[in-house]
A and B are shown apart, each in its own frame.
Chain A
């Protein structure tokens, strides 16, 4: 069983929901990332989403754009991100790590090279924002052969028949984008999300995570009431951005712990 599947199975057995925080690798500098990953786990994260810095993050709002720009100032590329994952794996063999990013850095590395390096680094899944299933068949096959889960997005605008088609290609879990907009946009509408989930659940047995627009513990708790996983990105990046360097790890761990506690209260 993959680390992602094992994590969801254990959570389900304990009647708990997965907490998936996101940080951009290399933000605010390359040395910060591995300690941040451990702090996220210490705060109660179940799966880590690690953003690959990209010069043109079309699907991201200002907060994650700035994180990308800070990382790019240090020249952080996909190879460096994979090295961070390998370093994290030296002391954490259990927490799944999912790469989140855009197609071009992967294209530049080449699909075969990426799959081999990602697997060797201890990566578990990959979510490529601008690789819809229609354009990523060959890449997805290579990921599957390397034991990497290809995670796909569904959106409020996805038509019903397309939900089925995307779900057929999905591995690991489904990432439901809770609102029309970029990352870190306005707060999500819980009723709208709740109304969409039954159709997604009917199309797949995979766990369903919800992300975009989750900014506080209470919203996370409510989303946890209807989904299998809660993804929080911009709010954590904001914590990194606004913290004094010495307080950064504590602030991030405490924020995640607060969300964890709210999720576990249910």
Chain B
């Protein structure tokens, strides 16, 4: 790492966050990624592009999303006050749309009429199909055959929005395999197609541009917290799968002293069981899907299957900036097990009248764990990254109820 690197100036020109990130792809994609990098650089400094992005976020997504003081739940926990950043109130029900709007505007600027996306739980697929309909683009979504079975309502949503959903039968038939297949499509149709990557991972410039599009979350929080409380939170807590909602709320807070940043990974059946999706908590660095980062892998460097009650956290890698923030100690990463996440899910339903996504429930569960150990004047800001309507079948099944 260069001594003059500061955490907020990264990545460097070649997409590195310290030893992480980079461009680890086959030669066929190198030119396309280079073109995307230059186009994004131009868009970033183009006031018209930025204005249109802001306009869409306000009028189509419904931003800014509110911050809500979860008073009853905080009282029940008997410690720190918990505030929720309500990304669940966005159009399509999650933070994913912030990124897909940004990337669809980039695709349009580059003259690409066809977009592709990978999806696990289907949230990014729905957000991609949504913007493709909004801007009149052809959309193909790759989704693991296993996930298609688990998430049929989202598959139908994508089809309603005009997208083609392609089932992926290779490998473990889940998110990582959908990402492989999307890359294979892109390498074949690279000149006509824009790949809308769903998280702050993949080859440079994706981790940077997805982060930049998601930073609206943290930027709003800084203003809203100042207005509501005249101060910033003591800790910001977000769930981490690929890590886009977390980096979106963390990044603007990196230079703010006194604000702890806590990323919550999916602990599945427990770290000790080996059945989890927590590369930062229990993985080692390696190269997958075009970038270097912490990974879930075996001694031969094969990627191992992940386990989580939440399909959106079921990914064996993590965005490279999180690996970097972990190593330099600016952010902490912890794991929350399936049963802890489910308990938080139910508590938010019953105490606040909010059905959270199972992904976000991991962040909520960690807040519930540490709040009682803190004074009542301390503030925890949790990114409620998505709503849980999509998860009711999963939760019902776990309770032995067939809907």
Interface residues of A (CB under 8 A from B): 53-59, 61-62, 65, 69, 72, 75, 77-79, 102-109, 129-132, 134-135, 152-159, 162, 166, 177, 180-182, 185
Contact = CB atoms under 8 A, between A and B. Distances in A.
B270 to A, nearest CB: 23
Given A53-B302, A132-B23, A182-B188, 5 more contacts: A58-B289, A152-B27, A153-B28, A180-B191, A182-B187
A158 B300 contact: no
Given A104-B286, A131-B24, A134-B23, A58 B183 contact: yes
A65 B183 CA distance: 14
Contacts of B301: 54, 77-78, 104-109
B295 A104 contact: yes
Interface string B22-36: 111111111110000
Given A58-B183, A104-B286, A180-B187, A135 B297 contact: no
Contact of B302 (A105, A132, A135, A185): A105
B287 A107 contact: yes
Interface in B281-303: 285-290, 292, 295, 297, 299-303
A94 to B, nearest CB: 30
B26 A56 contact: no
Given A79-B300, A135-B24, A180-B187, A107 B286 contact: yes
Interface of B: 14, 22-32, 170-171, 176-177, 180, 183-184, 187-191, 285-290, 292, 295, 297, 299-304
Contacts of B14: 134
Contacts of A103: 24, 287
Interface hub of B29, B171, B184, B290 (most chain A Cβ within 10 A): B184
A181 B286 contact: no
Count chain A CB atoms within 10 A of each CB in B14, B188, B191, B304 and give the residue with the most. B188
Nearest to A157: B31
A58 B186 CA distance: 11
A182 B184 contact: yes
Contact of B303 (A104, A109, A131): A104
8 contacts: A53-B302, A58-B183, A109-B301, A132-B24, A155-B28, A155-B30, A156-B28, A182-B187
Contacts of A162: 30-31
B31 A108 contact: no
A152 B190 CA distance: 20
B303 A56 contact: yes
A180 B28 contact: yes
B182 to A, nearest CB: 10
Contacts, number: 128
Nearest to B183: A58
B27 A155 contact: yes
Contacts of B180: 56-58
Contacts of B289: 56, 58
A158 B30 contact: yes
A255 B200 CA distance: 46
Nearest to A182: B184
A256 B183 CA distance: 31
A165 to B, nearest CB: 10
Nearest to A154: B27
A131 B14 CA distance: 14
A55 B171 contact: yes
A156 B289 CA distance: 21
Contact of B184 (A61, A102, A129, A156): A61
Contacts of A54: 301-302
A73 B188 CA distance: 28
> A57, A153, A182 — which one has the most chain B CB atoms within 10 A of its CB?
A182
Contact of B176 (A56, A78, A109, A180): A56
B169 to A, nearest CB: 9
A130 B9 CA distance: 26
Contacts of A180: 28, 187-191
A214 B244 CA distance: 41
Given A130-B25, A132-B30, A154-B27, A104 B288 contact: yes
4 interchain residue pairs of minimum CB distance: A108-B301, A77-B300, A105-B301, A153-B27
Nearest to B303: A55
